Amino acid sequence: MIGKPDPGDLSTLGPLPRDEEGPVFATPWQARAFALAVELRQAGVFDWSQWSASLGEEILRAQKEGDPDLGDSYYEHWLRTLERLAKERGLVSGESLASRREAWRDAARNTPHGEPIRLEAAARNLDKGRD
């Protein structure tokens, strides 16, 4: 259809950090969040115009709450947008999301500096605490 944007066209998201090989990210979790958004779009959970509108809403909300919008929190907004859309579309419950968030926090607290954070280790530590 003429005039209708291609929902798979990533250019509607605005400029992304790139090098000769494609998008670049400051940390691996940012790349994973980006890839998850692409996968959810390909699965039909949302299209890029819905994503863009939701991300814009998240950024405005954060600015109203004092985010100085210097660019360093961009993928945090991206992640919160993913979480919100996943809840709104019934992919995850709020309780499940909160539980996973706490598991990540626990794993991060219990991971030595410089080591990769692994949820499996956090789960084992939680299980030990229940015995």
**Would you list the domain boundaries of the chain?**
23-92, 94-131
Say how far apart CA 113 and CA 63 lie, in whole Å: 31
Q: Which helix (H) or strand (E) holds 18?
A: strand 18-19
At residue 109, what is the residue type? Answer: R
State yes or no: pLDDT of 2 exceeds 50.
Answer: no
Q: Sign of the C-alpha dihedral, residues 85, 91, 95, 96? A: negative
Q: What is the pLDDT of residues 62-86, one digit of tens each?
A: 999 999 888 889 999 999 999 999 9
8 A C-beta contact, residue 69 and residue 59: yes
Residue 14 burial class via C-beta count within 10 angstroms: exposed 0-12, middle 13-18, buried 19 and up = exposed
What integer pLDDT is reported at residue 41 of this predicted model? 94
Q: What is the pLDDT of residues 15-60, one digit of tens each?
A: 566 778 777 788 878 888 999 999 999 999 999 999 999 999 999 9
Mean pLDDT of 3-13: 51
What integer pLDDT is reported at residue 42 of this predicted model? 94
Q: CA of 70: how far to CAs of 2, 19, 21, 90, 125, in Å?
A: 37, 21, 25, 32, 37
* Phi, psi angles (nearest 5°) of residue 19: -130, -165
Mean pLDDT of 84-96: 93
Helix, coil or strand: residue 75:
helix
109 is written with which tokens? 């607290």
Across the chain, which distance is largest between two alpha carbons, in Å? 63
Helix, coil or strand: residue 70:
coil
